[in-house]
Structure 1
Amino acid sequence: MVIATRTMTDEQRKSVALEYLKAFDNGGVTSSGDSILSLFAEDAQVYFPKWGLANGRDQIGQLFSDVASTIESIEHHFSHFNWVFSGDDLLVCEGTSHGKHQDGAWRAGVPEWGAGRWCDVFEIRDWKIQRCFIYLDPDYAGKDSDRYPWIKNSQENQGD
């Protein structure tokens, strides 16, 4: 790990996180035309549910490639983000999204129990993402309902 040399403000760290989220909506390309991976430190870590922990840019690239191969499109709802700053290099973004997965479409709140709500925990220093832990339901299309009786009952009552 590299020793931090530049102090960043909360707003500067937020701008890096926003660039990362916007790159997802743009097929993994940043506003400057670079790969989303350019936003990460060489030894960064990313966690994604049902994938696990990716260490370093090569594994992060594999994680993003694996996840992207299942998603046709995604759009984050930037105007609805909640930001929590926790001193030093840590910030949290809670938000919603909609899009199309290989198994079907999703939109936060439709249905209320479905995919589209997420929370990312970032550690950002020296203008690079050091750590990003992503918390969401990776069952975007809501197909994993047999294991959850409350969802199955809800679907049967609504005729889904």
Structure 2
Amino acid sequence: MALTRQTMTDEQRKSVAVEYLKAFDNAGVTSGGGSILELFATDAQVYFPKWGLASGRDEIGRLFGDVGATLKSIHHHFAHFNWIFSGGDLLVCEGTSHGEHRDGPWRAGVPAWGAGHWCDVFEIRDWQIQRCFIYLDPDYAGQDTGRYPWLADKPNQR
């Protein structure tokens, strides 16, 4: 097996990340009809809060299956993304979303402290995601309030 490294521009890396996020909005199917897993290197890693680190496509598939089974729908707000480029293989996307979790709906900003704000750190090389660390509140429906005293006096406002 030959080691290949294709030089990619920031915009090309961004296009891979956008394809990944759009596939989530489309139940894990890419714009070309393939699986979201095809966007990952075979030895890629994905981190998701409260799930942990998944290594390799099989584990990543389990992670996405576990999380996806709790979601009825998700919609990313592409027009409002903030992108940070490293000049290398790393890029960061900060954004918002809305959708429906099995425990109820969510929308970024409703309430202000709720789910829907997220940040993903990608490492993309050779047209594949090598690493994606997802940072968000996995309590999509905003039900985990009892452990946070600062939320006790705030209405859910859904």
Q: TM-score, normalised by structure 2?
A: 0.96
Q: How does 1:1-160 map to 2 (within 5 A)?
A: 3-155=3-155
Report the Cα distance in structure 2 between the residues aligned to 1:5 and 1:132, rounded to whole angstroms: 19
Report the Cα distance in structure 1 between the residues aligned to 2:112 and 2:15, rounded to whole angstroms: 30
The SS at the match of 2:152 is: helix
Show structure 2 runs of 5+ residues with no match: none
Aligned 8 A contact 1:74 1:97 in 2: yes
**By how many angstroms is 1:13 displaced?**
0.1
**By how many angstroms is 1:87 displaced?**
1.8
| Code of the aligned partner of 2:133 | F
Aligned 8 A contact 1:25 1:76 in 2: yes
Q: How many residues are paired up?
A: 157
Show structure 1 runs of 5+ residues with no match: none
CA deviations 1:56-75 (Å, max 9, x no partner) are: 00000000000000000000
CA deviations 1:16-38 (Å, max 9, x no partner) are: 00000000000000000000000
| Code of the aligned partner of 2:150 | W
CA deviations 1:111-158 (Å, max 9, x no partner) are: 0000000000000000000000000000000000000111121128x7
Cα root mean square deviation, aligned: 1.4
Report the Cα distance in structure 2 between the residues aligned to 1:16 and 1:104, rounded to whole angstroms: 30
CA deviations 1:57-105 (Å, max 9, x no partner) are: 0000000000000000000000000000012100000000000000000
Q: Give the 3 Å change call, closer, same or farther, for CA 141–86 of structure 1 in structure 2.
A: same
Report the Cα distance in structure 1 between the residues aligned to 2:3 and 2:54, rounded to whole angstroms: 21
Aligned 8 A contact 1:4 1:125 in 2: no
Q: TM-score, normalised by structure 1?
A: 0.95
Report the Cα distance in structure 1 between the residues aligned to 2:66 and 2:138, rounded to whole angstroms: 12
Report the Cα distance in structure 1 between the residues aligned to 2:23 and 2:80, rounded to whole angstroms: 18
Between the aligned residues of both structures, percent identity stands at 75
Report the Cα distance in structure 1 between the residues aligned to 2:139 and 2:94, rounded to whole angstroms: 18
Report the Cα distance in structure 1 between the residues aligned to 2:137 and 2:3, rounded to whole angstroms: 34
